[in-house]
Amino acid sequence: MQNEQMLMQIEDEKITGTHRVLLYYFYTKLNNAESFWKKHKTFSESIGVKGRIIVSDEGINGTIAGTIAQTDMYMYGLRMHPLFRKLWFKIDYSDHNTFPRLSVKYRKEIVALHLEEKNSKDLNPIDCTGTHLKPKEFLELSRQKNAIIVDVRNEYEYETGHFTNTFRPKKLFHYRDFPEWQKENIPEEYKENMHILTVCTGGIKCEKLSGYLKDEGFKNVYQLNGGIATYLKDKEVDGADYDGQLYVFDDRIAVSYSETRSKYKVLTKCVHCQKSSERLVNSANRACNEQFFCCIGCQPKTLRSCSKDCMVAEENEYLMCGIAETTTEAQKPTTTNTKKKVQA
């Protein structure tokens, strides 16, 4: 019976690619976590999956990719562990492996918030976390006047796509800065009379931050179950009230899930020509490597550069390879990008 339950998610899928991308996490008290980490690293390497996995005393967090057979083995193998039998995998498909290598690390937290370093007690989502809402429940509550959506993702993720009615009076550049951001931006009176709906990519950041908000005295705190990745694929809500793409931490960079959204609005613009573009690229200047939106028409003109300095930099890949076009002053970029390179 247990084997049937573990395979149910796999069997119910409609496979639409040669590879799967798995996004998952699970909070649990993991005794001998360092020993589990070493074994899980060997297990993952033997299967051949690639991606990033973090193991800690508080559980596991990962985003990996592999062939259908490899991910079948990975999901089945991880769920064979008694602590992870109820682990939920969010699944996307691709025509290739979206990661260049495998990294399996042991860390203190499966997603770093460092509350103890901020003179706050660390929180265990198993004991204290916000109420989970299904996509339709989230949509209905988010449209009420006494509710606000709090997006706890980094600024570059937020700019790629977000809910139209998100409460964001000030930029949040890093997830770890949320405790300070909350104190500066969310009014004290909201603790009693507002419903706080937290959102993030796959749900893991909200698990601890929603618990943090409850510990700070907010009475009505919720989280979008499965994160935005689940919401955008839910046919019932049809991606309502969300504009743009979803930033992801693999070589796809961002996904639209447009096949499950009847209404789709492009949110971002090319930094050079200011025309609508969802094409997120890294600067060709290896010393910079910042990410920015660049339409396909501007890429050859600007040597895939986020600034004039990057266009003429010695480490610009176009110049190093000798394939750069002659660029006139009129073709050079007029906007300097401020997005930072993604840190895993």
Could you list the active site residues?
200
What gap in Å lies between CA 288 and CA 222, rounded to an integer? 38
Q: With CA atoms as reference, report the closest residue to 81 among 45, 37, 111.
A: 37
Q: Cβ–Cβ contacts within 10 Å for residue 116, how many? A: 12
Long-range contacts made by residues 137-142, C-beta under 8 angstroms, separation at least 24? 138/197, 138/222, 138/224, 138/225, 138/231, 138/237, 139/237, 139/240, 139/241, 141/195, 141/197, 141/222, 142/197, 142/241
Name, in order, each residue with C-beta under 8 angstroms of 105's C-beta and a sequence gap of 6 or more: 37, 52, 53, 54, 55
Report yes or no: 225 and 203 within 8 Å, Cβ to Cβ: yes
Report yes or no: 27 and 55 within 8 Å, Cβ to Cβ: no
Q: Cβ–Cβ contacts within 10 Å for residue 313, how many? A: 20
Any alpha helices (H) in 51-131, and if so which ranges?
68-79
Identity of residue 101: R
The answer to whether the Cα torsion of 274, 279, 283, 288 is positive or negative is: positive
